[in-house]
A and B are shown apart, each in its own frame.
Chain A
Amino acid sequence: MRAELKPWQKVLAYGSLVFVLAWTVFGLYAIWLMLTQG
């Protein structure tokens, strides 16, 4: 059973999550570029 994250820990963890998800979108864009422009 994991303890609850403190508020600042939540900010850091969810902030990092949003960051990597944004990068995933960037990765998908890079694939699209690679497929359409070589």
Chain B
Amino acid sequence: MKLTQEAREVLDTAKRHNRVSPEEERDIEEVVALLPDDRSMLYKNVDSNPIGDFYRYNIHIRIQHLLIFSTFLLLAFTGLPIHYNTAFWAEPFNSVLGGLEVTRVIHRTLAAAMIFAMVYHFVTIGLGSLLKLRARVFELRRTILPVWKDISDFKEDMQFFGGKRTVRPEMDKFMYKQKIHYFAAGFGNTVMVISGSTFLFPDVWASILPLEMASHFQEMMRLSHPHEALLALLVIAFWHWYNVHLAPGRFPMQWTFLTGKITREHQIEEHFLEYLRCIVTMPEERSYLRKLIESKKLWGTQPHD
């Protein structure tokens, strides 16, 4: 396989960060040279464990996801009967929980748990990045932060889905879609926390804001809270759940949120640059690839375009 400049940089950086020996380096380069240029031949032929082959998320990120999704669902489940408290179904629902006031307390407690998960997340990524910086192995392109390459990845992926390309672009640990989703969730959570806090502490916000703005702000936040909640519910149901449950290759469920691992075929298809790092760090993966390419005669397969 002829590596692109981006892929070459990733491979060389991974070799440097992992201080590979000359023998290992030779082995890595030989295996990479054997890879078919048509990457789809690779991800369509590899063996994958459905619950995951390669390490992707540590235990902290998985706990944060569990905290965020459980509090999110319960917040939606308690928020709706608070907002529509006079609806025929809301009154019995609130009564079961002990009355509207109790539903509100539950809702606020869940909100506090969600804010805790957000803080926990920032501490994790902040400390994780600091440790990597100290060890001199930090790579900006491997983070969730947007980079210029995401624009060309997006363009090339659209060309692939439109039938103009035969292979997906070579994307890193986080692809453009995940970055959009992550920052949309971050924005949504911020709106929910700020707007929710104006219901709980209106006097504090009134004391902070200029007098002529305070009332308008309160009204705006009162509108934002339920509408942003509904938007979040729609994004989760029709975008996130499609991508992790229904999308071809993921059905019936992607296990990463539980096991922290990604399947081999998924890693090669959507996160090829991260897969190159696996080739560098895992000698057993190089042996596997040699056997696979030999047995299926995959070397030299070219893309059609």
Residues of chain A having any CB pair with chain B under 8 Å: 1-5, 9-10, 12-14, 16-17, 20, 23-24, 26-27, 30-31, 33-34, 37
Do the beta carbons of B45 and A17 come within 8 Å of each other? no
Task: Return the CB mask of B61-87 against A: 1 if under 8 Å, else 0.
Answer: 000000000000100100010001001
Q: Looking at chain A's contact residues, is the secondary structure mostly helix, strand, loop, or mixed?
A: helix
Do the beta carbons of B234 and A34 come within 8 Å of each other? no
Q: Given A1-B48, A33-B80, A33-B87, are A24 and B237 also a contact pair (CB < 8 Å)?
A: yes
Number of interface residues of B (CB under 8 A): 28
Task: Return the CB mask of B238-278 against A: 1 if under 8 Å, else 0.
Answer: 10010001100000110100000001010000000000000
Q: Looking at chain B's contact residues, is the secondary structure mostly helix, strand, loop, or mixed?
A: helix
How far in angstroms is the closest Cβ of chain A from B304? 22
Complex Cα–Cα for A29 and B142 (A): 39
Residues of chain B having any CB pair with chain A under 8 Å: 45-51, 73, 76, 80, 84, 87, 226-227, 230, 233-234, 236-238, 241, 245-246, 252-253, 255, 263, 265
Do the beta carbons of A23 and B50 come within 8 Å of each other? no
B237 contacts which chain A residues (CB < 8 A)? Answer: 20, 23-24, 27
Q: Given A16-B245, A17-B245, A33-B80, are A3 and B49 also a contact pair (CB < 8 Å)?
A: yes
Do the beta carbons of B50 and A9 come within 8 Å of each other? yes
Of all chain B residues, the one with the shortest Cβ separation from A29 is: B80
Do the beta carbons of B50 and A3 come within 8 Å of each other? yes
Complex Cα–Cα for A34 and B233 (A): 13
Max chain B CB contacts within 10 Å: which of A2, A13, A14? A2
